Amino acid sequence: MIEVKNLKKVYNGVTVLDIPELTIKKGETFGLVGNNGAGKTTFFSLILDLIQANAGYVLSKGHNVKQSEHWKSFTGSYLDEGFLIDFLTPEEYFEFIAQLHGLDNGALNSYLNPFIEFFNYQILDQGKYIRELSRGNQKKVGIAAALMFHPEIVVLDEPFPNLDPTSVIRLKMLLKALKRQKETTWLISSHDLKHVTEVCDRIVILDKGKIVRDIQTSENTLKDLETYFQQQIVAGEHIY
């Protein structure tokens, strides 16, 4: 589904991402974890052709994302508030996204119904612009928009922060329900090891732009991840 070859990104002479090879299979729920600066957002930005690689390439269903825009027709994504049009109301934004994908108002209303509880009745019919919403509610708008046209690939960067506890639970339930359909390939980054372990089949750890672990999720995965990061703390203490 997604193939990465010799992908490298350099900022000011510092290599922030260096992935010789990586394949993400169709229907896989792929989790990405790592400390701040590990390269998670850089990796997702390269997959979405938001920044230019210094070397290598990304293939999405065989399409080089740098050379073709066809991949955009089957890819949904939300990385941050920059993906939103904040001078629109949520309803206007959803209508805009629907029009981009050829959905009529009837299809849009049907699509939004399952999200009403996730929105916690705070998004629609509030008479607010997106910029007036809390960061958590902005994120809900972005996630819903990313899933609107039932994309084959969904990229979500840190979907859980800024959500209240009830919304986190609802989002995980939603992701698990969609995951069972096995039609969508998910790429999800998170600082919360528990959340990403609960929703992902496979988890990759990035450290200073390099893949240091590639784990198929099991009942021991959360403990293994915690052990890895605890060891990094100990290693850091030894340096000082």
DSSP 134-190: -HHHHHHHHHHHHHTT--SEEEEES-STT--HHHHHHHHHHHHHHHTT---EEEEE-
For the segment 209-219, what is each residue's pLDDT rounded down to a tens digit?
999 999 999 99
Question: What residues contact residue 72 under an 8 Å CB cut-off, 6+ apart?
Answer: none
pTM above 0.75, yes or no: yes
pLDDT given at position 235? 65
Averaged confidence pLDDT in the chain:
90
Interhelix angle 165-179/135-147, rounded to 10 degrees, is 10
Mean pLDDT, range 170-199, rounded to an integer: 88
Measured between alpha carbons, how far is 107 from 224 in angstroms, rounded to an integer?
Answer: 43
Residue found under tokens 């060891």: 231
Q: Is domain 2-239 classified as CATH 1.20.120.1200?
A: no
Question: How is residue 53 written in tokens?
Answer: 């690689």
CA dist list (Å): 31 to 11, 34, 187, 199: 25, 10, 6, 8
pLDDT given at position 150? 85
DSSP string, 43-98: HHHHHTTSS--SEEEEEETTEETTT-SGGGGGEEEE-SGGGS-TTS-HHHHHHHHH
pLDDT given at position 237? 52
Phi, psi values for residue 69, rounded to 5°: -110, 5
For the segment 89-129, what is each residue's pLDDT rounded down to a tens digit?
999 999 999 888 888 777 888 888 888 888 988 899 899 99
Domain residue extents for the chain: 2-239
pLDDT given at position 198? 93
Measured between alpha carbons, how far is 13 from 67 in angstroms, rounded to an integer?
Answer: 25
pLDDT given at position 238? 45
Within 10 Å of residue 239's Cβ, how many Cβ atoms? Answer: 5
Measured between alpha carbons, how far is 166 from 119 in angstroms, rounded to an integer?
Answer: 10
Instruction: Check pLDDT > 60 for residue 151.
Output: yes
The model's confidence at residue 232, banded by pLDDT at 50, 70 and 90, is: confident
Mean pLDDT, range 186-194, rounded to an integer: 94
Mean pLDDT, range 138-166, rounded to an integer: 92
Instruction: Check pLDDT > 80 for residue 174.
Output: yes
What is the share, in percent, of the chain residues with pLDDT greater than 90?
69
For the segment 32-47, what is each residue's pLDDT rounded down to a tens digit?
999 988 999 999 999 9
Instruction: Check pLDDT > 60 for residue 240.
Output: no
> What does the radius of gyration of the chain's CA atoms come to, in whole angstroms?
18
